[in-house]
Amino acid sequence: MHHPSDQRNNHMETTIQVKSRKKTARLAGLYYLFNVLLSIYYMQYLPGKIAAWDDPQATMENFLDNEMPFRLYILAGVAVHISFILLPLTLHKLLGHINKHYAMLMVVFALVSVPISFTILLDQYELISLFKDYAALDSAQQAAMDLRVLGSFESLYNGFFLCQTYWGLWLFPFGLLAFKSGFLPKFLGVALMLGCITYVLDIIGGTLFQNYYDFVDTNLLILPAAIGEIGMCIWLLTFGTKENIKF
């Protein structure tokens, strides 16, 4: 026979656990939000504003005209990498009890990408000296620097492309854990797992076939990953965790 006080204690422990889990979920959502917003600036907006493909001189002009945005871009890149360390570790705390093996894979695949992508950022950081030194170069040296800056942004995009390997792979164990959790939406878990598959397919197709992008729209291909990640970010921030999710 259970004493009423035991039932109250069990209820209190359960309530504390649920509150702690929701707090962890919302913290993960916050890291996710930082990562998504800063990644838009770091990976899309600023590089797209500066890089003029096949025109090194125009690229350099854009670069010199955007000194402060470029410096902010460097800091945004640092913050993106920090958030992408904190995010999987927080998700591990939230989901690790469901399956330790999948949770470990989720963290490892995510964290492996950080030193790789940080090396790409280091190459970009070296361009900062040009804001001071470019005007003092002769015309031949300036032409060489124009090519270097354009080449740096080409390398940046190539680096992002290869990092999709790990940005994709970490989504499968994450999605599987979300699907099995019972307190996160199953459809977001499915979207994350599909996102892993489409990321990997994009890397394979883009590497093997020269005319791959004449037939494949990458924006459509990675749509499941975008739905899964943005949807999970919003869910974690808004609802945290919710028991007995059926969808």
Whether 38 is covered by a domain: the verdict is yes
Whether 1 is covered by a domain: the verdict is no
Whether 247 is covered by a domain: the verdict is no
* Mean per-residue pLDDT, 226-243: 90
Whether 136 is covered by a domain: the verdict is yes
Complete DSSP assignment for 72-120: HHHHHHHHHHHHHHHHHHHHHHHHTTT-HHHHHHHHHHHHHHHHHHHHH
Write down the pLDDT at residue 20.
Answer: 84
Write down the pLDDT at residue 2.
Answer: 53
172-197 pLDDT, tens per residue?
999 999 999 989 999 999 999 999 99
Whether 124 is covered by a domain: the verdict is yes
d(CA 106, CA 103): 5
Domain that holds residue 161: 12-238
Whether 245 is covered by a domain: the verdict is no
Contact criterion met (CB below 8 Å) for 67 and 130: no
Cα–Cα distances in angstroms (integers) from residue 197 to residues 12, 28, 114, 222, 240, in the given order: 42, 23, 21, 9, 26
Split into its structural domains, the chain has a count of 1
Q: Which of 158, 137, 149, 134 lies closest to 55 in space, CA to CA?
A: 149
Provide the residue count of the chain.
247
Q: Which distant-in-sequence residues (6+ apart) come within 8 Å of 77 by Cβ?
A: 42, 121, 124
66-84 pLDDT, tens per residue?
999 999 999 999 999 999 9
d(CA 160, CA 142): 27
Whether 6 is covered by a domain: the verdict is no
- Tell whether pTM > 0.85: yes
Q: Would you call 2 helix, strand, or coil by DSSP? A: coil
124-161 pLDDT, tens per residue?
999 999 999 999 999 999 999 999 999 999 999 999 99
Q: Which of the four pLDDT bands, split at 50, 70 and 90, describes residue 12?
A: very low
Place of tokens 């390398």: 155
Write down the pLDDT at residue 17.
Answer: 65
| Per-residue pLDDT at 8 exceeds 60 | no
| Per-residue pLDDT at 199 exceeds 90 | yes
Whether 2 is covered by a domain: the verdict is no
